[in-house]
């Protein structure tokens, strides 16, 4: 079923950004619906932060278009930005203000009506676990609490789109769980873009994943689609009397063999080959004691490594 215009909160088409001769982002297209959480991934230098700066109107694209809730960001920047909440990688904190004053300032900057401001500030403080420290100076808070304050300023005006760049950096495990719960809650009735290097975090909270590499989109699908992606199919093979790894690797169609536990091997196939039958035949003929042959479920981390390392190896 195709999303209606009212359901689409972000539509970026052919987004590019050049810095002199260097192209940081090259033709990125993405679309996000209300109630959807998108994991935005890529190695350092892939173009993630540049893309997010363009999506939030902090950096003009060299080419392409951006619509936020149906408003053209380039033609009507103020109106489009009113729908966006943004937490950059380094939170924009005012260390000399109390937490409450800082969030109130953010509400004023976002033009939250005076009659609604106290309620909006209180809601943001409570949702981010900051109510008990609202009278403390931002500069005296731990890094984890400063990160929470950064998230609170991004959501105080109840935006339709929330863009979070590394929101759990510096948080302890309990705080990470709380922020993940908050992200899921935010994703119920608005759109969230989550950029993070903690890949299991993406699997736990996101609906879809986009991976950038060298400024281009190299993967974009749902979490379920990601788990079916192999970029070179992979199986786990269990052998009670295994041969040397080099023997398994020499079977036609096998791209790579890795030891994945006691008598368990992770066998990757070439893209256009299926050596399963040959592997079974060799196991029987040579009495390797085959006891397991199952497809590997692909994780975010595995897809990430396959897509970003494959290109580097080719280079």
pLDDT digits over 17-33, tens only?
Answer: 999 999 999 999 999 99
Looking at residue 89, what is its pLDDT? 86
Band of residue 230 on the pLDDT scale cut at 50, 70, 90? low
Tokens, residue 18: 């050049």
Query: Which residues contact residue 282 at a Cβ distance below 8 angstroms, ignoring those fewer than 6 apart?
Result: 251, 288
Please report where in the chains the tokens 């173009």 appear, as a residue: 47
Angle value at C-alpha 156, between 186 and 120, nearest 5 degrees: 105
Tell me the pLDDT of the chain averaged across its residues.
89
Residue pair 137/97 in contact (Cβ under 8 Å)? The answer is: yes
The answer to whether residues 64 and 14 touch, using CB atoms and an 8 Å cutoff, is yes
Which pLDDT score, from 0 to 100, does residue 4 have?
47
Tokens linked to 32: 């996000």
Least confident window among 173-187, 205-219, 227-241? 227-241
Rg, C-alpha atoms of the chain:
24
- Helices (DSSP H) in the chain: which residue ranges? 48-55, 77-81, 99-109, 114-127, 143-155, 173-186, 199-205, 223-227, 245-249, 276-285, 300-314
As given in the structure block, the two tokens for residue 288 are 């390797």
Hey, what domains does the chain have and what are their CATH numbers? 8-222 (3.40.50.300), 234-297 (3.30.70)
């Amino acid at each position: 079923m195709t999303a209606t215009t009212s359901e689409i909160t972000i539509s970026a088409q052919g987004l590019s950004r050049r810095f002199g001769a260097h192209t940081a982002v090259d033709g990125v297209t993405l679309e996000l619906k209300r109630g959807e959480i998108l994991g935005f991934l890529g190695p350092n230098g892939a173009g993630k932060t540049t893309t997010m700066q363009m999506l939030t109107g902090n950096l003009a694209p060299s080419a392409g278009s951006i619509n936020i809730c149906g408003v053209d960001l380039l033609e009507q920047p103020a109106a489009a930005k009113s729908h966006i909440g943004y937490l950059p990688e380094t939170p924009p904190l005012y260390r000399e203000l109390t937490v409450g004053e800082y969030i109130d300032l953010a509400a004023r900057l976002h033009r939250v009506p005076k009659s609604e401001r106290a309620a909006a500030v209180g809601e943001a403080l409570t949702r981010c676990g900051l109510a008990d420290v609202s009278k403390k100076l931002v500069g005296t808070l731990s890094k984890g609490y400063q990160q929470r304050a950064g998230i609170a300023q991004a959501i105080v005006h109840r935006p339709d789109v929330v863009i979070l760049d590394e929101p759990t950096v510096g948080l302890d495990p309990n705080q990470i769980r709380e922020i993940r719960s908050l992200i899921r809650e935010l994703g119920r009735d608005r759109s969230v873009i989550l950029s993070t290097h903690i890949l299991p975090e993406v699997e736990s909270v996101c609906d879809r994943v986009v991976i950038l590499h060298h400024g281009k989109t190299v993967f974009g699908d749902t979490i379920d689609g990601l788990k079916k992606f192999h970029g070179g199919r992979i199986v786990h093979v269990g052998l009670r009397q295994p041969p040397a790894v080099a023997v398994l690797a020499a079977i036609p169609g096998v791209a790579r063999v890795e030891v994945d536990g006691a008598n368990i091997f992770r066998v990757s196939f070439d893209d256009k080959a299926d050596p399963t039958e040959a592997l079974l035949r060799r196991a029987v003929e040579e009495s390797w004691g085959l006891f397991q042959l199952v497809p590997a479920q692909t994780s975010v981390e595995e897809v990430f490594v396959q897509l970003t390392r494959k290109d580097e190896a080719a280079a």
